[in-house]
Amino acid sequence: MFNKVLVANRGEIAVRIIRALKELSIPSVAVYSEVDRDSLHVKLADEAYCIGPANSNQSYLNIPAIMSVAEVTDADAIHPGYGFLAENAHFAEVCESSGVKFIGPSSEIIALMGDKVKARETMIKAGVPVVPGTEQSLTDIEKTLELAEEIGYPVIVKAAAGGGGKGMRIAQNAKDLKKAIQTAQREAEAAFGNAEVYMEKYVEEPRHIEFQILADEHGNVIHLGERDCSIQRRHQKIVEESPSPALEEGLRYEMGQKAVKVAKAVSYANAGTVEFLLDKDNNYYFIEMNTRVQVEHPVTEYVTGIDIIKEQIRIAAGEKLVFNQDDIKLKGVALECRINAEDPEKGFIPSPGRLEEYIIPGGPGVRIDSGVYPGYFIPPNYDSMVAKLIVWEEDREKALSRMERALDEFFIDGIKTTIPYHLRILNNAYFRKGNYHTNFIHRRLNNEK
Ligand code: ADP
């Protein structure tokens, strides 16, 4: 096992990783930016080092600064969390060549899956269904228009290096498509420094179903069931649940097998997520594989009883998985609401500031993953997520009641949050029936009185 692990992240995920390290009796090293001096991850870690100013390019993305902390503290592994450097193949490579274990898959796999055009190509070869679309990135506009006619409008133009729902544009016709390509290219260049885009058929009202994969470094691969992440705003998830209300046992089995096939096709190791779109006729298509721990991993932890972060650490240390597929049984229902410091009344503008009041819900089956505390000042520089509220109950109806009760108990003052918005989602009749898709917010909530 590792002697010491550096956590190259901030906020709730840094706290989550430090907690897992403590339980494994592994000393932890936190890194932080100048505005994060008072952050919870800094308080909880065994050691903490400032790595630069608030701007993440100079701190949480500053590879030389992070590597020097690893060196001076004698850390023999780095957990990157999600976001920041978690899917940066160059960072993983720097770790590999410095003899510091990167807790995640190899740099080659990160690079392969980070290029969605290459990932699609690999999946086609492996016999995994992908959304009909281009086999290469778009260069020839005439050919693209022809192909769009062939697959049928609407189509969606997506960034090859995409993430976080950025660099995506839907086109209803040929005229739209020309514009969509240009806009998506511009957005992709600005967000990822790579203007490469590709095109897929726009699947109407699909569900976003993803499978959690665990793979050790000895070729053993299992999945931990699925999460339904169809409740999205601007292609970003806001509520997640496991299991999906849309999957019958047979389809779950089949999609799970495909997800394992995806991981095996690239000799994947560590935790990862295979994302699919599921259409109304139960056709499913691979859209991407995320090569890191996901924000929504706790819902899977609740229904499987497996600690995904600890598994990541054990796998990276070279240990074999101690369970096989038959050992994995999904029990009950878990839901997660992402509570953001945003004002839902004012177009979700960020609402940073001091937490004058912060009283969290509790009781059975309630879990809060958060990096904040009463009196903490939320800086404006980073992601607006304040806390994840996760609940578990033995069936969906009870889990919904528990979530509603927990949201009602959550008191935050000093900033605006998305708690009232979550209560609206939870009280929507379609959502309660489990009858929803990725356009739910747009179709079922925004038009509501
Ligand atoms: P990112 O990496 O930016 O999150 P994804 O490829 O995972 O991008 O897609 C994010 C979301 O965008 C999906 O969950 C879905 O809601 C929507 N989306 C992506 N591709 C399609 C498609 N071909 N048809 C319909 N919706 C799509």
Position 449 scores a pLDDT of: 38
Average pLDDT of span 101-125:
97
Ligand 1 site-directed mutation target among 147, 177, 196, 235, most atoms within 8 Å of CB: 235
Token pair listed for 356: 């004058």
Helices (H) and strands (E) in the chain, counts: 15, 22
Instruction: Name which CATH class applies to 132-201.
Output: alpha beta
Spatial CB neighbours of 206, under 8 Å, sequence gap ≥ 6:
230, 277, 278, 279, 280, 437, 438
Q: Which of 292, 314, 338, 367 is catalytic?
A: 292
User: Is the CB of 305 within 6 Å of ligand 1?
Assistant: no
Asked if the model's pLDDT at residue 21 lies above 70, the reply is yes
User: Is the CB of 406 within 6 Å of ligand 1?
Assistant: no
pLDDT in tens, 191-244: 999 999 999 999 999 999 999 999 999 999 999 999 999 999 999 999 999 999
- For the chain, the C-alpha Rg in angstroms (whole number) is 21
What is the fold of 5-95?
Rossmann fold (3.40.50)
ipTM: 0.97
- Report CA(417)–ligand 1 centroid distance (Å): 25
Distance CA(307)–CA(331), nearest Å, equals 15
Average pLDDT of span 34-39:
98
118 in Cβ contact with 112 (< 8 Å):
yes
User: By alpha-carbon position, which residue is closest to atom 1 of ligand 1?
Assistant: 163
Asked if the model's pLDDT at residue 448 lies above 60, the reply is no
Q: Burial level of 220, CB count in 10 A (0-12/13-18/19+)? A: middle
Mean pLDDT across the chain: 97
User: By alpha-carbon position, which residue is closest to atom 2 of ligand 1?
Assistant: 163
Q: For residue 377, what are the β-bridge partners?
A: 354
pLDDT in tens, 373-420: 999 999 999 999 999 999 999 999 999 999 999 999 999 999 999 999
Judged by phi (left if over 0) then psi (alpha if -120 to 50, else beta), residue 332 lies in left
Average pLDDT of span 128-149:
93
Which ligand 1 atom sits closest to the C-alpha of 133?
A: 23
Instruction: Name which CATH class applies to 207-445.
Output: alpha beta
- Start-end of H helices in 159-248: 174-192
260 in Cβ contact with 221 (< 8 Å):
yes
Share of the chain above pLDDT 70, in %: 99
Pairing of strands 5-7, 28-33: parallel
301 in Cβ contact with 308 (< 8 Å):
yes
Q: For residue 390, what are the β-bridge partners?
A: 336, 367
At 164, the pLDDT band (50, 70, 90 cuts) reads: confident
Spatial CB neighbours of 197, under 8 Å, sequence gap ≥ 6:
137, 138, 157, 158, 159, 160, 167, 181, 184, 185, 188
Residue ranges per domain, the chain?
A: 5-95, 132-201, 207-445
Query: Does 292 qualify as catalytic in the annotation?
Result: yes
Distance CA(288)–CA(198), nearest Å, equals 13
Position 292 scores a pLDDT of: 98
- Report CA(214)–ligand 1 centroid distance (Å): 23
Judged by phi (left if over 0) then psi (alpha if -120 to 50, else beta), residue 84 lies in left
Ligand 1 site-directed mutation target among 153, 202, 287, most atoms within 8 Å of CB: 287
Distance CA(39)–CA(20), nearest Å, equals 18
